[in-house]
Structure formats: structure tokens, C-alpha cells
Amino acid sequence: MCTGKCSTFVGISLYPLAILSIICNIVLFFPDLKSTYAKQDSEGLYRLTDEVKYMGGVIGGGIVVLIPAIHIHSTGRKGCCANRCGMFLSILFSAIGVVGALYSIAVAAVGLVNGPVCMTPSGSWERPFNNTGGSYLSDSEIWDRCTEPNNVVEFNIGLFSTLLVVGCLELLLCGFQGINGLFGCICGTCNNKEGP
């Protein structure tokens, strides 16, 4: 396959992943689909998981991947392929995308391991699964340690898992584009040679 067509495929594939990453991170601000948890309480604290506020999905998997996606996609626009300079730049942009995806993956993984902030049966807001090393993920019987917001454990697991999978896909695509860009830069790009 032509290196330019590969670039177009990678760029187009990164768009929905970046948008999904942004949406998941934004939805994480609204556990139980209410905005009250994103506001400061009387003690000046937010009742959100710290990893939500790190914006791994918006910044890392979203904006930092979306910018390279635009360049990578435009690299493959010139007919079948692009030039060597464009392919070289796509390597650099791919590296930026890898960094963004890694940030998103790291934040999502830590969010999964530490668990959500929730009200416990004692009436205090805390992270009851923080020191379990993520073992709560496979033991749904202890999820009732969170009484408010409703279904916050499932909510966090679902969205952070989605961010983790999306980040891994972005990492693979950006890594693949780095290799594709290297081939396009060193070996040259294919050209549509048409007759007179």
C-alpha cells in the first residue's frame, strides 16, 4: 500500500478516537449525569476523581492526538502520496500523538486502579478502593461501599476503560504512522505515473 494512502487511513482513523476520548472525559465530570459533583462543596473540595481533573482524555487522547491527526491526514492528500518532507514531519507529529496517547493511557489506568470518589456508608466522601491495587475491579460485591453517586463505580470503570482502549488504539496508530513516515521519508513515496 502507498505510504500516502496509509497516512490518510491513519489520520482518518484518529479523528473519531480523539473525539471519543474528549467525550468520555467530559462525561466523567458528571457522575449520575448530575453537575452537582463537579461543584465545590462547603469545604472547598470537588467530589470528583482526581484523574478526571487531569483531563487525560481531553488533552492527551483528544487535542494532542487531534493535531497530529490533521497533519497526518493532510500528508496523504496529494494524489496518491505526499513528499518526503511531509512524511518526515508526519514522524514528528506521530511522536507528539504517541506522547498524548501515553498520557491518556496513564491517567485512565491510574483512575481505574484508584477507583472513584464517592460517599461511603459512614457518610464521608473518600476513595474507598484507593489502596486495593485495583482488586475491586473484579469484585463487584464490594462496590456497595459507594452509596452516592448512583452506580459511580460502574460509571468510572466503563469510561476509564474506554479511555484506556482508545488511548491504546491511538498509540498503535501513531506508532504505525511513525514507521510509515520513516519508509516514506527514506524510500520515497509512490507516485501515480500516468502516461502522456
Read off the pLDDT of residues 35-72 as tens digits, 9 standing for 90 and up: 888 877 666 667 888 899 999 999 999 999 999 999 88
Q: Cell 505515473 identifies what position?
A: 193
In 3D, which of 127, 151, 126, 150 has the Cα closest to residue 140?
151
In 3D, which of 89, 91, 81, 95 has the Cα closest to residue 188?
81
Per-residue pLDDT of the chain (196 residues; tens, 9 = 90+): 577 788 888 899 999 999 999 999 999 999 988 888 887 766 666 788 889 999 999 999 999 999 999 988 888 665 444 477 778 888 999 999 999 999 999 999 999 999 999 999 888 888 999 888 888 998 888 998 999 889 999 999 999 999 999 999 999 999 999 998 888 777 765 645 443 4
User: φ, ψ for residue 36 (rounded to 5)?
Assistant: -65, -30
Read off the pLDDT of residues 64-91 as tens digits, 9 standing for 90 and up: 999 999 988 888 665 444 477 778 888 9
In angstroms, the CA 188 to CA 183 distance is 7
Neighbours of 45 (CB within 10 A): 10
Looking at the DSSP bridge assignments, the partners of residue 125 are 119
Domain boundaries, the chain: 3-39+46-186
> Where do runs of H (alpha helix) occur along the chain?
3-27, 50-53, 64-75, 84-114, 152-186
